[in-house]
């Protein structure tokens, strides 16, 4: 039986209520091979990207506050957060229970919570910082997801996004076409035996917002001091913002 694919184009999701269910089912399916394929496709650079994103959470000293790893997947970021901020409370939230279960061996003290990024199961101002690695692109409603992050952040709290935005530069578009849109589905079919899932992951980058558009959404939804850094020829980017009081 064919799987129902999530909707890759961000705007089209507004009229596709099946996106959230299909997306959750897809990540449950590919969970066992997800880590391996991430490292294979990025040549291991993804670990360096995550380290740079975590560096953006550090302040001028003192406590960062409780940390939320949003769309935590198999907890690669959570493991690094535990190391970077020993003694801080780390909470990992993802809608795929299977992803969180497979990643639990990587962490020692991280709290794992199955939850929807569009309706987070946390109180207002519960966290001092939120980080999301490669997850905002998959939300059914991006703007609503950003609002939820703002809600659970205390005033002045940091939000760091590590993401593969829609490519803008010609060289980046060419790289996306060659290495991602063409190669990723083939590798996914061989390794994970799920071509459709990895075709969606490749298509979702082209169907997502650009980095500049994402920065604008953050400012519109209650964030200030928004700034960004491109990584590896603009393949990935880090966008940071602070919750406006």
Listed by start position, the domains of the chain span: 11-169+197-243
Among candidates 153, 100, 164, which has minimal Cα distance to 128?
A: 153
How far is the CA of 133 from the CAs of 18, 77, 225, 237, 244, in angstroms?
A: 23, 7, 20, 10, 22
Model pLDDT for residues 173-192, shown as the tens digit of each residue:
555 555 566 666 556 556 55
- Rounded mean pLDDT, 64-76: 95
Extract the tokens encoding 178.
């060659």
On the CB side of 231, how many CA atoms lie within 13 Å of its CA?
20
**Which residue intervals of 43-158 are DSSP H helices?**
45-55, 76-84, 97-103, 142-152
- DSSP code of 181? I
- As a whole number of angstroms, the distance between CA 93 and CA 9 comes to 24
On the CB side of 170, how many CA atoms lie within 13 Å of its CA?
0
30: Cβ–Cβ under 8 A, 6 or more apart, which residues? 37, 188, 192, 194, 197, 198
Phi-psi region of 209 (alpha: psi -120 to 50; beta: other; left: phi over 0): beta
Phi, psi for 218 (deg, rounded to 5)? -60, -45
**Residue 31: band (very low, low, confident or very high) from pLDDT cuts 50, 70, 90:** confident
pLDDT for res 100:
97
Residue 61 or residue 109, greater confidence: 109
pLDDT for res 205:
79
- As a whole number of angstroms, the distance between CA 77 and CA 50 comes to 7
Question: Does residue 172 carry a pLDDT above 60?
Answer: no
pLDDT for res 178:
54
pLDDT for res 14:
79
User: Is CATH 3.40.50.150 the classification given to domain 11-169+197-243?
Assistant: yes
Residue 233 or residue 141, greater confidence: 141
Mean pLDDT, the chain, integer: 87
Q: Are 124 and 152 in contact (CB under 8 A)?
A: yes
- Rounded mean pLDDT, 59-81: 88
Among candidates 99, 95, 67, which has minimal Cα distance to 83?
A: 67
pLDDT for res 78:
98
pLDDT for res 80:
97
- Rounded mean pLDDT, 44-68: 86
Question: Does residue 245 carry a pLDDT above 80?
Answer: yes
91: Cβ–Cβ under 8 A, 6 or more apart, which residues? 66, 67, 68, 69, 110, 111, 113, 122, 127
pLDDT for res 240:
98
62: Cβ–Cβ under 8 A, 6 or more apart, which residues? none
**Residue 224: band (very low, low, confident or very high) from pLDDT cuts 50, 70, 90:** very high
pTM exceeding the 0.85 threshold for the entire prediction: yes
pLDDT for res 177:
56
Ranges assigned E (strand) in 106-202: 111-114, 127-133, 153-163
**Residue 135: band (very low, low, confident or very high) from pLDDT cuts 50, 70, 90:** very high
pLDDT for res 1:
42
């Amino acid at each position: 039986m064919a799987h129902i694919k999530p909707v890759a184009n961000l705007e089209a999701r507004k009229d596709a209520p099946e996106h959230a269910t299909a997306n959750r089912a897809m990540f449950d399916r590919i969970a066992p091979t997800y880590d391996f394929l991430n490292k294979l496709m990025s040549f291991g650079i993804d670990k360096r990207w995550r380290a740079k994103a975590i560096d953006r959470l550090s302040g001028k000293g003192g406590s960062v506050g409780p940390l939320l790893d949003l769309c935590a997947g198999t907890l690669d970021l959570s493991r690094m957060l535990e190391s970077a901020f020993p003694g801080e409370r780390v909470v990992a939230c993802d809608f795929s229970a299977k992803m969180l279960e497979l990643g639990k061996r990587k962490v020692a003290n991280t709290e794992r919570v199955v939850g929807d990024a569009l309706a987070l199961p946390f109180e207002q101002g519960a966290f001092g910082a939120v980080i999301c690695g490669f997850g905002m692109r998959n939300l059914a409603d991006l703007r609503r997801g950003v609002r939820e992050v703002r809600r659970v952040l205390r005033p002045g709290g940091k939000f760091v996004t590590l993401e593969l935005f829609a490519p803008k530069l010609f060289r980046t578009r060419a790289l996306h076409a060659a290495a991602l849109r063409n190669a990723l589905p083939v590798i996914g079919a061989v390794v994970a035996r799920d071509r459709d899932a990895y075709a969606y992951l490749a298509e979702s980058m082209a169907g997502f917002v650009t980095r500049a558009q994402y920065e604008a959404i953050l400012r519109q939804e209650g964030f200030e001091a928004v700034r960004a850094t491109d990584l590896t020829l603009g393949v990935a980017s880090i966008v940071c913002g602070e919750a406006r009081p």
